[in-house]
């Protein structure tokens, strides 16, 4: 999908311009969100464009007074974007409860760069319990009421159902796109798939669905994947890193990341009640470490992905100082080793040292090629 | 020249506290032998809940203080975790506790008997803590329950309370299932009354610290905090806290100081470097004293806030005449305690924690604040950067040092103490030639 891939990638690179133009074109409001546990459907049903706030991967020196250097690099990078005014077109900033790192970004941003609207939605951690569902349904309803007050109009149930339909379609299409990466011939490279997911987090979902349908309907015989890799991490948003890996003779065929499979989950119809539906989607999608308490579900999920996509090696992309992912790493590494999937752990900071990483990735791939 | 301004004397209830600590430690190891469950997790929060099945817990690290006094063992703990792939991103305290498990001494009693805990209950406020108990669960392969204490803004807190009550109810049914014991609601109700009493007493003693001279100092509080970790739901704990309360009030009335030379009052925010025993007494050299901290008082105390943010101590259910008639009443009361009156819960949200610390500085007549940018505890130091900015806006002197509460490899003593010297001098106090602290007690 060469032409389309460029279109998705360009949108990611020019995401601020996209949002400004959308605002100009529709007269609507744009709200930034920090964590993918937020039910975007509520924003969409209010006619608001949800835009995931992303880092800039550029050196910065503005966050130290707010967040100490030993907190997650992604959170510092996203706060830097706010402090530097890169998101000055936002009308609001919202987040769902996840880790302590992103909470700091939210609070510092709202405090020091006042924004017309801000909202903190609680997202339970015990996602597998019925109590969590009841709690989250109430929270989503409260968020909807807050949104109604802010935009100054009621959000009808039809509007919510429409939004659910658009998002459901998106998840189905993303599932189809990933399906095309399971066979021997891979329809979409890792870098292309990442661009698609990232663009979906900053674009109008209806428009993104159209682009996706176009991409999926384009004839593609796929390409051979000499080495099939999986990437695991919190927020893998650096397309250049994936391009580097793939330029060395591997193909990233799947991922466990909130810029990948954890974002769109699956598209199982969940409930006729819209709030229960939205809650269940957030509660049942593949969990990040913070939402994977008690008996672990991540190892089984990761192994299932590895099996379905024929993965031969795994690369952990660890945001520096992210303690939840650091806690899960030894368990996941062992789980993968038990099914003969070697892994490599890369630690990344605000900036990605591609030259250094190249050497390590090459060595890992040489080892894999010997084993394969 | 010895410069004594205030009378001082040791706490009379100190020996009783020490004796109770020994008793609770001994009873912990005896609990399973008596047919009762031994649990991991908790760290004293909602300690009433397992009392219905006579469960006893002490977090994950019953030997934590012991490890902090043995540098070689402490370093070996960190080395063990490094070798197992658990990186330095993970909470240093929990690394030490998990290492004690992997190294095989976590559940070995002083008499040498190795116990296997019966179950784990984690009260999830801190993500790192909860992820750590997950690792313990994998190690021991025993039943495991996580009870989430949610972070809600005041306007939607009722949703959070309902969520908590539903979870606690599920937890009780789970405990009955995994222990085979019928849950005793009467024991729960009694424990909840005590937990409220204990935590409110802790807050009231903290309030006495507003007096000049301060009757206690932070290190003394830390010693009593061990009782809170064992669980304020226990009658003997509240009895000692009552004694502490009465005696502290008397010290205020009589003008008895913790530091006889007190002329400068400090807060230390974040966990101190636990392995450095003299750290919290260092300001005494200047006639300065750490009164306590929002962290320490908020961790175990019960506070609310007035409209202007003033820390207030709530009445207990007994004082309000609230009768806890059944399990539901008791659980609802625990949810009120956790979500309306627990600064440790709101401390995980940056904005309220910053505001609370600034208010505490004013209300406790604090001259300066020492903020620990603690690589070892991301949760409790998360607000410290923003707190520094807020204090600066209010022209309240503060000092920042970066270190690690449980890893001496990240503590540069010379640099930190040098910075302390400069900070104290900037507050207008100079080093005393000699001083009398009035604290000959061992902690």
At B399 the pLDDT is 97
Tokens in use for A47?
């006619």
Q: What is the pLDDT of residues A98-147, one digit of tens each?
A: 999 999 999 999 999 989 999 999 999 999 999 999 999 999 999 999 99
Q: Give me the mean pLDDT over the A86-109 stretch.
A: 95
Q: Give me the mean pLDDT over the A343-352 stretch.
A: 91
- Hey, is B369 helix, strand or coil? strand
Taking 50 as the threshold, does the pLDDT of residue B349 lie above it?
yes
Q: In CATH, which of 3.40.30.10, 3.20.20.140, 3.90.1170.50, 3.40.50.11900 is domain A159-371?
A: 3.40.50.11900
Tokens in use for A68?
């100490």
SS3 content of chain A, % helix, strand, coil (to 5): 50, 15, 35
Alpha helices (runs of H) in B103-156, residue ranges in sequence order = 127-140
Taking 80 as the threshold, does the pLDDT of residue A207 lie above it?
yes
Least confident of A14-18, A340-344, B42-46, B300-304: B42-46
Tell me if A13-154 shares its fold with A159-371.
Answer: yes
Angle, CA B15 vertex, CA B12 and CA B18 arms, to 5° = 135
Confidence of residue A371 (pLDDT cuts 50, 70, 90): low
At A64 the pLDDT is 93
Q: How far from the centroid of its chain's Cα atoms is residue B51's Cα?
A: 20
Q: Which residue is listed with tokens 């021991």?
A: B140
At A369 the pLDDT is 85
Nearest to A118 by CA among A92, A144, A82: A92
- Hey, is B231 helix, strand or coil? coil
Q: Give me the mean pLDDT over the B182-186 stretch.
A: 98
Q: Give me the mean pLDDT over the B411-435 stretch.
A: 92
Judge: B389–A324 Cβ closer than 8 Å, yes or no.
Answer: no
At A357 the pLDDT is 93
Taking 50 as the threshold, does the pLDDT of residue A94 lie above it?
yes
At B42 the pLDDT is 79
At A164 the pLDDT is 97
Q: Angle at which helices B218-230 and B14-31 pack, to 10 degrees? A: 30
What rounded mean pLDDT belongs to chain B? 94
Taking 90 as the threshold, does the pLDDT of residue A46 lie above it?
yes
At A220 the pLDDT is 79
Residue B83 touches chain A, beta carbons under 8 Å:
no
At B3 the pLDDT is 59
End-to-end CA, chain B? 27
Closest by Cβ to B138, choosing from A138, A142, A331 = A331
Taking 90 as the threshold, does the pLDDT of residue A268 lie above it?
no
At B441 the pLDDT is 46
CA atoms within 13 A of residue B283's CA, in its CB half-sphere: 32
Give the gap in angstroms from C-alpha B254 to the nearest C-alpha of chain A: 43
Contact A86, A57 (CB under 8 A): no
Distance between CA atoms of residues A352 and A359, nearest Å: 13
Taking 80 as the threshold, does the pLDDT of residue B442 lie above it?
no
Q: Which of residues 294-313 of A touch B (CB under 8 A)?
A: 294-296
What is the ipTM score, two decimals? 0.94
Confidence of residue B440 (pLDDT cuts 50, 70, 90): very low
Contact A240, A321 (CB under 8 A): no
Nearest to B128 by CA among A121, A100, A96, A233: A100
Q: Which residue is listed with tokens 């189809």?
A: A176
Residue B80 touches chain A, beta carbons under 8 Å:
no
Residue B232 touches chain A, beta carbons under 8 Å:
no
Taking 90 as the threshold, does the pLDDT of residue A251 lie above it?
yes
Tokens in use for A339?
């099914």
Distance between CA atoms of residues B90 and B407, nearest Å: 12
Q: What is the pLDDT of residues B81-103, one digit of tens each?
A: 999 999 888 999 999 999 999 99
Distance between CA atoms of residues B205 and B249, nearest Å: 8
Contact B264, B367 (CB under 8 A): yes
Q: Which residue is listed with tokens 């995401």?
A: A15
Taking 90 as the threshold, does the pLDDT of residue B5 lie above it?
no
Nearest to B48 by CA among B304, B297, B337: B337
| pTM confidence score | 0.94
At A360 the pLDDT is 96
Distance between CA atoms of residues A158 and A147, nearest Å: 16
At A221 the pLDDT is 79
Instruction: Give the strand pairing for B304-305 and B311-312.
Output: antiparallel
Nearest to A175 by CA among A268, A304, A75, A58: A268
* Partners of A95 in beta bridges: A120
Confidence of residue B434 (pLDDT cuts 50, 70, 90): low
Name, in order, each residue with C-beta under 8 angstroms of A29's C-beta and a sequence gap of 6 or more. Answer: A23, A47, A48, A49, A91, A92, A151
CB atoms within 10 A of CB A372: 11
Assigned CATH for A13-154: 3.40.50.11890
Chain A, nearest residue to B122 by Cα: A294
Residue B141 touches chain A, beta carbons under 8 Å:
no
Tokens in use for A349?
């900071």
Taking 80 as the threshold, does the pLDDT of residue B438 lie above it?
no
At A271 the pLDDT is 86
Residues of B in contact with A67 (CB under 8 A): 385
What rounded mean pLDDT belongs to chain A? 94
Contact A319, A72 (CB under 8 A): yes
Q: Give me the mean pLDDT over the B53-70 stretch.
A: 93
Domain edges within chain A: 13-154, 159-371
Residue A233 touches chain B, beta carbons under 8 Å:
no
């Amino acid at each position: 999908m060469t032409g389309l891939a460029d279109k998705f990638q360009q949108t990611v690179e020019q995401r601020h311009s996209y949002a400004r133009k959308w605002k100009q074109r529709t007269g609507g409001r744009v709200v930034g969100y920090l964590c993918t546990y937020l039910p975007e459907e509520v924003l969409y049903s209010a006619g608001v464009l949800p835009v995931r706030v992303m880092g800039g991967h550029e050196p910065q020196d503005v966050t130290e007074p707010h967040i100490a250097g030993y907190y997650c690099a992604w959170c510092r990078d996203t706060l830097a974007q706010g402090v530097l005014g890169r998101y000055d077109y936002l009308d609001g900033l919202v987040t769902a409860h996840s880790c302590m790192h992103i909470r700091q970004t939210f609070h510092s941003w709202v405090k020091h760069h006042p924004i017309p609207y801000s909202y903190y939605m609680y997202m339970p951690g015990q996602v597998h319990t019925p109590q969590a569902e009841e709690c989250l349904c109430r929270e989503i309803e409260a968020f909807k009421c807050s949104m109604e007050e802010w935009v100054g109009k009621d959000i009808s149930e039809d509007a919510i159902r429409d939004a659910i339909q658009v998002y459901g379609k998106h998840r189905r299409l993303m599932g189809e796109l990933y399906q095309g990466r399971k066979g021997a011939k891979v329809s979409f490279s890792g870098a292309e798939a990442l661009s698609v997911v990232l663009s979906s987090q900053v674009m109008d979902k209806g428009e993104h669905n159209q682009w996706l349908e176009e991409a999926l309907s384009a004839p593609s015989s796929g390409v051979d994947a000499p080495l099939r890799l999986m990437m695991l991490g919190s927020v893998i948003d650096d397309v250049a890193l994936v391009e580097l890996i793939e330029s060395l003779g591997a193909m990233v065929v799947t991922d466990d990341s909130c810029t990948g499979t954890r974002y769109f989950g699956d598209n199982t119809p969940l409930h006729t009640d819209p709030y229960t539906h939205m809650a269940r989607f957030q509660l049942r999608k593949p969990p990040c470490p913070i939402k994977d308490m008690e008996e672990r579900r991540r190892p089984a999920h990761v192994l299932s992905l590895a099996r379905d996509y024929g993965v031969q090696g795994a690369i952990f992309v660890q945001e520096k100082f992210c303690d939840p992912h650091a806690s899960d790493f030894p368990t996941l590494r062992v789980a993968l080793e038990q099914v003969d999937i070697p892994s490599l752990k890369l630690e990344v900071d605000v900036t990605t040292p591609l030259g250094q990483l190249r050497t390590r990735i090459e060595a890992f791939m040489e080892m894999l090629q010997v084993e394969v | 020249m010895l410069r004594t301004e205030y009378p001082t004397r040791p706490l009379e209830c100190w020996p009783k506290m020490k004796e109770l600590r020994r008793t609770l430690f001994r009873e912990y190891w005896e609990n399973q032998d008596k047919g009762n469950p031994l649990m991991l997790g908790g760290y004293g929060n909602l300690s009433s809940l397992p009392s219905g099945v006579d469960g006893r817990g002490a977090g994950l690290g019953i030997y934590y203080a012991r490890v902090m006094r043995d540098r070689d063992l402490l370093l070996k703990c960190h080395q063990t975790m490094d070798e197992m792939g658990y990186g330095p991103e993970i909470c240093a305290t929990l690394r030490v506790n998990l290492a004690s498990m992997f190294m095989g001494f976590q559940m070995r009693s002083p008499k040498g008997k190795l116990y296997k805990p019966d179950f784990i209950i984690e009260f999830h406020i801190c993500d790192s803590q909860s992820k750590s108990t997950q690792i313990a669960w994998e190690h021991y392969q025993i039943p495991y329950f996580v009870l989430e204490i949610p972070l809600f803004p005041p306007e939607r807190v009722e949703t959070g309370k309902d969520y908590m009550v539903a979870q606690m109810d599920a937890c009780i049914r789970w405990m009955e299932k995994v222990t085979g014991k019928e849950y005793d609601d009467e024991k729960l109700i009694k424990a909840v009354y005590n937990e409220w009493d204990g935590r409110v007493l802790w807050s009231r003693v903290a309030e006495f610290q507003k007096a000049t001279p301060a009757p206690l100092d932070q290190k003394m509080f830390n010693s009593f905090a061990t009782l809170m970790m064992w669980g304020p739901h226990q009658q003997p704990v509240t009895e000692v806290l009552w004694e502490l309360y009465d005696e502290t009030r008397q010290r205020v009335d009589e003008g008895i100081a913790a530091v006889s030379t007190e002329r400068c009052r400090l807060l230390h925010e974040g966990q101190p470097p636990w392995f450095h025993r003299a750290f919290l007494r260092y300001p005494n050299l200047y006639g300065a004293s750490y009164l306590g901290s929002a962290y320490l008082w908020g961790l175990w105390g019960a506070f609310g806030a007035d409209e202007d943010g003033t820390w207030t101590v709530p009445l207990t259910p007994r004082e309000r005449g609230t009768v806890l008639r059944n399990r539901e009443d008791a659980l609802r009361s625990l949810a009120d305690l956790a979500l309306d009156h627990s600064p440790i819960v709101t401390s995980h949200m940056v904005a309220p924690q910053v505001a609370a610390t600034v208010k505490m500085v004013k209300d406790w007549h604090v001259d300066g604040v020492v903020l620990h940018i603690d690589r070892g505890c991301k949760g409790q130091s998360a607000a410290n950067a923003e707190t520094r900015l807020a204090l600066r806006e209010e022209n309240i002197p503060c000092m920042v040092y970066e270190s690690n509460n449980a890893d001496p490899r990240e503590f540069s003593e010379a640099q930190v103490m040098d910075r302390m010297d400069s900070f104290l001098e900037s507050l207008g106090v100079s080093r005393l030639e000699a001083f009398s602290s009035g604290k000959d007690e061992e902690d």
